[in-house]
Structure 1
């Protein structure tokens, strides 16, 4: 009897967020029916968590050990099992630190996280290891309106870049730009080390702080030395030396001996003058850096403030008169341009895990050819081109974004349940056989082409 090689309609994917202290894993299944697959890399694919659990890194000498225990726990405590009905397909792990060719080294723990090793150990077809803040960038795409606080409405553009910065343990930054696939347009995230640019003081007190920190770190001072959980402690130590008359030994003891000194500093804001000065100082510099990021990327798709520091101190960011917003917009003669950029604070702190799950889904899709229905409706399946600048190049379809590109537009219109847009802009590479055929037509004068009927069933 021949073995049934038909791919299961439900597959198991894995996401993980590996921080300095904890490792978080989740197994989830995704419907891969033809209707779902035809929609391509959705930002909100139909996930269903099968099993999820967090682990303390200090309990394991090797990364392989913690993943092995996770799978053992999953099989013992949930309905997950490796049966013919389920298939471990793709895995994406977001790790705190630099990633080089799918490999990350946790030097403080002696761990090595390597995508090839994980494939061999656990039988995944596809594994990707990415920086945790790049994963957070993809996590931005999954946000709902109720999960953000709007600081500035701006003038939103669905085809523009998106920028993300977030202060937590450190200061992470990344950006997202529209990309193209046979399914349509979607965003990809790209890494940045922008948090490590030099701190550029603007006021007398900021110059004094720079001098203090330059002596402490024996030279260069980055923005992250100020805008981060550790940065709060650095700035507190500066104010302690600058204003010794305000020193409180009891409060200082709590701060110095805390595991998370930054959290204690924030909690003492209304009881201890030096903490109040520290918080005001840090959020002003935070706003300045947010404005600098906005200038570099012009993210009319949105500037998102992520990380733990912002949502836990949201009152310091809201309102145009907050020190954060005034510093963000105060960019001299280019300030008017920044007033049109949407600025939002991310109120949830699980972007890394969300991004790893979304990437797992995309990794799976990359391994499959685009799903195109075999039969087309002759009444609606037409190829249309236009050079009309008023028609958006990427029409909203099955969750994809509009975008006012001023380019000739070519769209393959399918029945509603299989809708997909294909946008051809100069320099785009054709990625499927059906797109290649269209490209040949364009090469012989697409601008004069107005309509082509596609034969039903061709």
Structure 2
């Protein structure tokens, strides 16, 4: 029986999992969460993985680590919101693992759409315009948590899928109207930036700043979610509108006609932010290509281990390529 070890490391949480392959399908055996703080290098991560999974690394047929930050060459990467740096160069010699890869966390989320997690995701926006969508149409992924991540999947023409990385969270965010531009000026003053990115607007940091701007209350993101995203408040109205605008822009950027999957902790913990009427109204507000946007279903990934499933799917792809 083949086994895949997966890790999904964000700015706040680090997740480890062991998967077995049963008739070619992923089967989750064990999953453990720890805090990312204190993990500074490759050896610290791999030592923690062996300890938490209670299994030596050499027992894995493949190891894939998903990291919330830039990745180079499938071997090296660093956390955007953290001190961790990883380097898998020479991992076979050091730990006895033959197949391994470092991938961006939203590449993992994209791969996760191909697993049972993607199939189980909650449809929060059904297509307003019914159309024949080919099975090979592209898929998009977007989500906000500690950072804002984006990715997509395109069909390779041979029955497989290619993940396309992106840094959409670091693109300047589009504000509309005087009220929103006043908020933009506030953000720039608070952050010391010449312009605000999606990463500054939709993440936990952005949510806290938005709530402070609208209410005067200085709260952590989780407190804002519990107090202001669970019912109709100005914070919900603004945040839902901003989230929908990011989703609409990503649909148009990637042409993900098969669907857009929303990941990340903020939406999964506060689903009203992507199911409210404010979200739907903004999603469909576009003077161009309205029919395209209306034809795309939007799904909410509620499983908090979706990145682990995606990393395991990436490991499965490694094994499949070797088999062929």
TM-score range normalised by the length of the shorter chain: 0.7 to 0.9
Moved beyond 6 Å, runs of 4+? 270-273
- Are 1:300 and 2:273 matched, yes or no? no
Native 8 Å contact 2:284 2:290 kept in 1: yes
1:298-337 correspondence runs (5 A):
298-318=255-275, 322-337=277-292
How much has 1:281 moved relative to structure 2?
0.8
The counterpart of 2:241, out of the listed 279, 284, 289, is: 284
1:389-428 correspondence runs (5 A):
none
Q: Are residues 268 and 311 of structure 1, via their aligned partners in 2, closer, same or farther at CA, if it must alter by over 3 Å?
A: same
Look up the match of 1:104. Answer: 77
Q: Are residues 270 and 334 of structure 1, via their aligned partners in 2, closer, same or farther at CA, if it must alter by over 3 Å?
A: closer
Native 8 Å contact 1:199 1:210 kept in 2: no
Native 8 Å contact 1:149 1:347 kept in 2: no
The counterpart of 2:180, out of the listed 206, 209, 234, is: 206
Look up the match of 1:134. Answer: 107
Distance in 1, matches of 2:52 and 2:270, equals 36
- Are 1:16 and 2:24 matched, yes or no? no
Distance in 2, matches of 1:171 and 1:108, equals 11
| SS in structure 2 of the partner of residue 289 of structure 1 | helix
Distance in 1, matches of 2:56 and 2:171, equals 47
Distance in 2, matches of 1:208 and 1:81, equals 54
Native 8 Å contact 2:12 2:146 kept in 1: no
Look up the match of 1:229. Answer: 204
Look up the match of 1:267. Answer: 226
How much has 1:50 moved relative to structure 2?
4.3
How much has 1:48 moved relative to structure 2?
3.4
| SS in structure 2 of the partner of residue 97 of structure 1 | coil
How much has 1:270 moved relative to structure 2?
8.1
- TM-score (structure 1 length as normaliser): 0.64
| SS in structure 1 of the partner of residue 261 of structure 2 | strand
Look up the match of 1:194. Answer: 168
- TM-score (structure 2 length as normaliser): 0.88
Structure 1 alignment gaps of length 5 or more? 1-9, 37-44, 241-246, 256-260, 370-458
1:119-268 correspondence runs (5 A):
119-142=92-115, 143=117, 145-153=119-127, 154-155=130-131, 156-180=133-157, 184-216=158-190, 217-240=192-215, 247=216, 252=217, 255=219, 261-268=220-227
CA RMSD of aligned residues (A): 2.6
Deviations 1:18-57 (A, max 9, x none): 22233222222224xxxx5xxxxxxxx4233444333333
Native 8 Å contact 1:161 1:299 kept in 2: yes
- Are 1:93 and 2:65 matched, yes or no? yes
Native 8 Å contact 2:3 2:59 kept in 1: yes
Q: Which has the higher contact order (CA 8 A, sep 6+)?
A: 2
Look up the match of 1:42. Answer: none
| SS in structure 1 of the partner of residue 289 of structure 2 | helix
Structure number with bigger Rg: 1
| SS in structure 2 of the partner of residue 198 of structure 1 | coil
Native 8 Å contact 1:13 1:90 kept in 2: yes
Distance in 1, matches of 2:257 and 2:317, equals 25
Deviations 1:394-420 (A, max 9, x none): xxxxxxxxxxxxxxxxxxxxxxxxxxx
- Are 1:57 and 2:14 matched, yes or no? no
| SS in structure 1 of the partner of residue 135 of structure 2 | coil
- Are 1:353 and 2:314 matched, yes or no? no
Distance in 2, matches of 1:187 and 1:12, equals 22
Native 8 Å contact 1:55 1:66 kept in 2: no
Native 8 Å contact 2:268 2:302 kept in 1: yes
How much has 1:325 moved relative to structure 2?
1.2
Higher helix fraction (1 or 2) = 2
